[in-house]
Amino acid sequence: MSLDFVKPAERISAFKPYFFSILGKKIKDLQSHGLDVIRLDMGSPDLPPADFIIEAMVQSARSADSHGYTAYGGIPLFREAVAKYYLNRFNVKLDPVNEVLGLIGSKEGLFDLPVVLANMGDVILIPDPGYPVYQSGAELVGAEIHYVPLVAENNFLPDLKAIPPKIAYRAKIMWINYPNNPTGAVAPIEFFEEVVEFGRKHEIVIAHDAPYTEICYDGYVAPSILQVPDSKDVVVEFNSLSKAYNMGGWRLGMVCGNPKVLKLLQTYKSQMDNSHFAPIQIAGATALTGDQNWLINRNEIYKERRDIILETLRNLGFQVNTPPSTIYLWARIPSRFEDCIEFCDRLLRETGVSMTPGTVFGEYGKGYVRISLGIATDRVRVAMERLTDWMKKQ
């Protein structure tokens, strides 16, 4: 029987497959033909969590009463651990019942937020370049997207004054993300104060995506936007254990802040999913409240990789800042290369080194590539050797 009658719903008809899904298929094909691929494209940590985190999950999973359904929005232990983490790390007080909500990875929360806050035709302010999920969530609900450029001349911070007032007053959500993916830029607390006031003035929910606060270098300590006094009036902050604690595949995140927004998210989620497996939440609570010293050594490993790549890129004529945070480098390719997509495609096919073209993250990513630090240090060195040899032939 033909299935020609099956058509996509209009709300998803414009969706394209996620870039890294397409790239993964291309890489599998190249590998099947014998190409050794080094993936500097995806931001997936290659290192495991600390042993005590894994052990907490294992011990809990062995308990006979750990395998039933868990409380919507997270078990109390996890929500209390999030609140304790915010207090210890940022000196921010959170009510674990009303101002903390567990997520099955923060990505689902990012995608769900427009569903619970925006109607068709409402404006959502999205950074360009920015994480593609901000856009797909807006598209799902038929919102009007207003892109806010992030450019090097402004340290990859949005120029709030450049947002037209008629747009600002129609906006329901403004996305920001610091430390930033893909640029590696960071925001001072003064910027957070400005954007909170902007949200209050225009009655916009400020949605801060902050999964990289624990990956910092050279003495930098990333702040939370919730450190701004009374920011919970207009702010929700998404966080995740994926990057912070090397728990990407565990799919454990949280959103904190405005209780009304969190209640809407919890109501929506209760229709769509059940909460996470309890042993994973227990391990997450252990990560958030346990010994944090292992992160120092982890960050030193990332820093070594960062510096290897920085030296190579600069020697080859790339323009690149030294990021004080995240697991990414955001590099402008030399001017003799006109197209970052073509650059990345050729580099992959001819050397096996995979980078992400900047236009995956928006129009203002044109001419850039994003390079991830989530690959073993010896493979980073090999990738830079391949890149150097290839660039010399161009």
Domains of the chain: 10-48+294-392 (3.90.1150.10), 51-289 (3.40.640.10)
Residue type at position 45 = P
pLDDT tens digits, one per residue of 174-220: 999 999 999 999 999 999 999 999 999 999 999 999 999 999 999 99
In this structure, are residues 59 and 192 in contact, taking their beta carbons and an 8 Å threshold? no
Q: Which residue has the tokens 């009036």?
A: 233
Q: Which residues, listed in sequence order, are joined to residue 102 by a DSSP beta bridge?
A: 254
Q: Which residues, listed in sequence order, are joined to residue 353 by a DSSP beta bridge?
A: 38
The pTM of the whole model exceeds 0.85: yes
Q: Does the pLDDT at position 82 exceed 90?
A: yes
| Selection from 214, 179, 208, 209 nearest residue 287 by Cα | 214
Parallel, antiparallel, or unpaired for β 253-257 and 100-103?
antiparallel
Report the 10 Å Cβ neighbour count for 73. 24
Rounded to whole angstroms, the Cα distance separating 383 from 366 reads: 23
Spatial CB neighbours of 154, under 8 Å, sequence gap ≥ 6: none
Residue type at position 37 = V
Average pLDDT estimate for 245-263:
96
Parallel, antiparallel, or unpaired for β 38-39 and 353-354?
parallel
In this structure, are residues 382 and 51 in contact, taking their beta carbons and an 8 Å threshold? no
pLDDT for 4 equals: 76
SS3 assignment, position 342? helix
pLDDT tens digits, one per residue of 123-163: 999 999 999 999 999 999 999 999 999 999 999 999 999 99
In this structure, are residues 267 and 237 in contact, taking their beta carbons and an 8 Å threshold? no
SS3 assignment, position 185? coil
Q: Which two tokens stand for residue 173?
A: 């959500």
Report the 10 Å Cβ neighbour count for 346. 14
DSSP 47: S
In this structure, are residues 373 and 306 in contact, taking their beta carbons and an 8 Å threshold? yes
Place 68 in a pLDDT band, splitting at 50, 70 and 90. confident
- Average of per-residue pLDDT values in the chain: 95
Place 2 in a pLDDT band, splitting at 50, 70 and 90. low
Rounded to whole angstroms, the Cα distance separating 170 from 116 reads: 16
Q: Where are the beta strands (DSSP E) in the chain?
A: 38-39, 100-103, 123-128, 144-149, 171-176, 205-209, 235-240, 253-257, 319-320, 328-332, 353-354, 356-357, 368-372
| Selection from 78, 144, 392, 109 nearest residue 236 by Cα | 109
SS3 assignment, position 33? coil
Query: In a 10 Å sphere around its CB, with 0-12 CB exposed, 13-18 middle and 19+ buried, how is residue 51 labelled?
Result: exposed
Place 1 in a pLDDT band, splitting at 50, 70 and 90. low
